[in-house]
């Protein structure tokens, strides 16, 4: 009898656990959103709605039935994605309207990317634009967020029948070993920045000649949470030198004989030290990098000589200083905001001063002297095959 009771109990427990997928929906019956593009909406004829209030939202949905076949036979298959575009006064309104056009309900838990056009980001707060994603429990916190210096809708289009643009862009951002590309910012990290009202950078993605590229970054004003403008690739490299945000990347220089030499970074350290004296703030940045020579357009081995080595390290140092100078000039003089996190070092080292001045920190940063010293060490020349 006891054995029978145990069997019945085990049977009941099994039913409970094995029935966990009773309400699931087959993946083929879901419209899986993998990318969202947000642009300024265009007013149609006879439409009385204020254009500034309109959004044009592109929803990129994975075409499950075509994804596998397109990879196997790209000439005959359709695209592995489909873009749905809708205009409305809110993100949720456009999502509801697009749902009426799709055979399956939207499913956003696999969303990878949100792209916001520069035109829209300049006139509307990111806090307002992304409010729906913060409130929606189905939003994926790990979705990357980027700015596009152009139409977000265009970035999410591709002529390659094997590409899914949202996955292509996030894939590049994840694996790119470049000092000119920012580390990806996710929705979760972005909301944290928006709540602190500090200025920051967002990766820029553009479409050039039917090719998607990650180029430069948008500068977001901490007070208005709108786009101020852009840093170019060189200026992003300057950010990398100052903050040591990555220890990967290359520097290409030319010697006095116009030979191209490539320095590949192996390690990068940055020590940012604020000093407060007589209520006046200054910064000193000590930058150290070790690397190796990964390519030389010169058949001779002269760079291995001590004298030439010092000259080479000096060339690399000057290149770094050039990028740093451009970056600081752009941030302090043109934009007048701290978008690279120097304020955090003040908060840690001088909390009282920070609490008194955090509300006008961008103004203080733009007037603060920043000294920097770059030390470059070439530690290897790569493999060499002698005759």
pLDDT tens per residue, range 237-280: 999 999 998 888 889 988 877 889 899 999 999 999 999 999 99
The pLDDT value recorded for residue 4 is 53
The pLDDT value recorded for residue 209 is 83
Domains in the chain: ranges and CATH:
26-231 (no CATH), 232-387 (3.30.300.210)
The pLDDT value recorded for residue 315 is 94
Average pLDDT estimate for 298-309: 72
From CA 291, how far away is CA 285, in angstroms rounded? 20
Least confident of 41-55, 101-115, 202-216: 41-55
The pLDDT value recorded for residue 138 is 83
From CA 206, how far away is CA 230, in angstroms rounded? 12
pLDDT, one tens digit per residue, over 75-102 is 445 789 999 999 999 999 998 888 887 7
Average pLDDT estimate for 221-245: 96
From CA 266, how far away is CA 271, in angstroms rounded? 17
- Contact at 8 Å (CB) between 148 and 184? no
The pLDDT value recorded for residue 387 is 46
For residue 250, the cross-strand partners are 264
Least confident of 33-37, 48-52, 186-190: 48-52
Query: Which of 133-136's residues contact partners 24+ apart within 8 Å by CB, and which partners?
Result: 133/91, 133/187, 134/187, 134/191, 136/108
The pLDDT value recorded for residue 53 is 62
The pLDDT value recorded for residue 29 is 57
Least confident of 104-113, 139-148, 297-306, 353-362: 297-306
pLDDT at 105 over 90: no
The pLDDT value recorded for residue 150 is 92
Least confident of 60-69, 185-194, 256-265, 300-309: 60-69
Average pLDDT estimate for 303-322: 87
Task: Tell me the pLDDT band of 44, cut-offs 50, 70 and 90.
Answer: low
User: Which is more confident, 377 or 30?
Assistant: 377
What percentage of the chain has pLDDT greater than the value 90? 59
Task: Tell me the pLDDT band of 16, cut-offs 50, 70 and 90.
Answer: very low
- Contact at 8 Å (CB) between 155 and 207? yes
pLDDT at 38 over 60: yes
DSSP notation for 124-146: S-HHHHTHHHHH-TTS-TT-EEE
pTM of the model: 0.85
The pLDDT value recorded for residue 319 is 95
pLDDT at 358 over 50: yes
Task: Tell me the pLDDT band of 9, cut-offs 50, 70 and 90.
Answer: very low
Type and span of the H or E element at 370? strand 369-380
Apex CA 240: angle with CA 180 and CA 189, to 5°? 90
Average pLDDT estimate for 16-37: 63
The pLDDT value recorded for residue 15 is 45
- Contact at 8 Å (CB) between 147 and 138? no
């Amino acid at each position: 009898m006891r054995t029978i009771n145990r069997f019945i109990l085990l049977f009941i427990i099994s039913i409970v656990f094995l029935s966990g997928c009773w309400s699931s929906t087959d993946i083929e019956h879901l419209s899986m959103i993998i990318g969202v593009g947000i642009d300024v909406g265009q007013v149609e004829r006879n439409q009385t709605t204020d254009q500034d209030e309109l959004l044009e939202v592109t929803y990129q949905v994975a075409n499950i039935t075509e994804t596998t076949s397109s990879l196997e036979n790209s000439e005959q298959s359709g695209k592995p994605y489909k873009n749905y575009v809708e205009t409305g006064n809110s993100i949720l309104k456009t999502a509801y309207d697009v749902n009426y056009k799709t055979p399956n309900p939207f499913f956003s838990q696999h969303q990878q990317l949100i792209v916001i056009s520069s035109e829209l980001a300049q006139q509307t707060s990111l806090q307002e634009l992304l409010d729906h994603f913060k409130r929606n429990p189905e939003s994926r916190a790990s979705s990357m967020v980027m700015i596009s210096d152009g139409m977000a809708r265009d970035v999410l289009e591709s002529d390659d029948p094997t590409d899914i643009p949202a996955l292509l862009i996030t894939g590049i951002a994840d694996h790119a070993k470049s000092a000119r590309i920012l580390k990806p910012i996710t929705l979760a990290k972005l909301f944290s920045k928006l709540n602190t009202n500090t200025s920051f950078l967002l990766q820029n993605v553009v479409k050039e000649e039917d090719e998607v590229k990650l180029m430069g970054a948008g500068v977001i004003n901490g007070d208005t949470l709108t786009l101020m403008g852009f840093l170019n690739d060189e200026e992003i490299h300057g950010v990398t030198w100052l903050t040591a945000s990555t220890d990967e990347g290359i520097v290409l220089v030319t010697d006095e004989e116009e030979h191209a030499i490539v320095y590949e970074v192996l390690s990068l350290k940055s020590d940012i030290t604020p000093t407060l004296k007589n209520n006046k703030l200054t910064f000193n940045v000590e930058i150290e990098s070790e690397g190796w020579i990964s390519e030389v357009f010169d058949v001779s081995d002269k760079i291995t000589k001590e004298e030439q080595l010092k000259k080479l390290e000096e060339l690399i140092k000057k290149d770094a200083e050039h990028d740093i100078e451009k970056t600081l000039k752009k941030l302090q003089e043109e934009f007048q905001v701290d978008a690279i996190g120097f304020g955090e070092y003040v908060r840690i080292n001088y909390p009282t001063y920070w609490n008194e001045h955090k509300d006008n920190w961008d103004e203080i940063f733009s007037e603060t002297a920043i000294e920097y010293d770059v030390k470059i060490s070439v530690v290897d020349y790569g493999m060499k095959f002698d005759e």
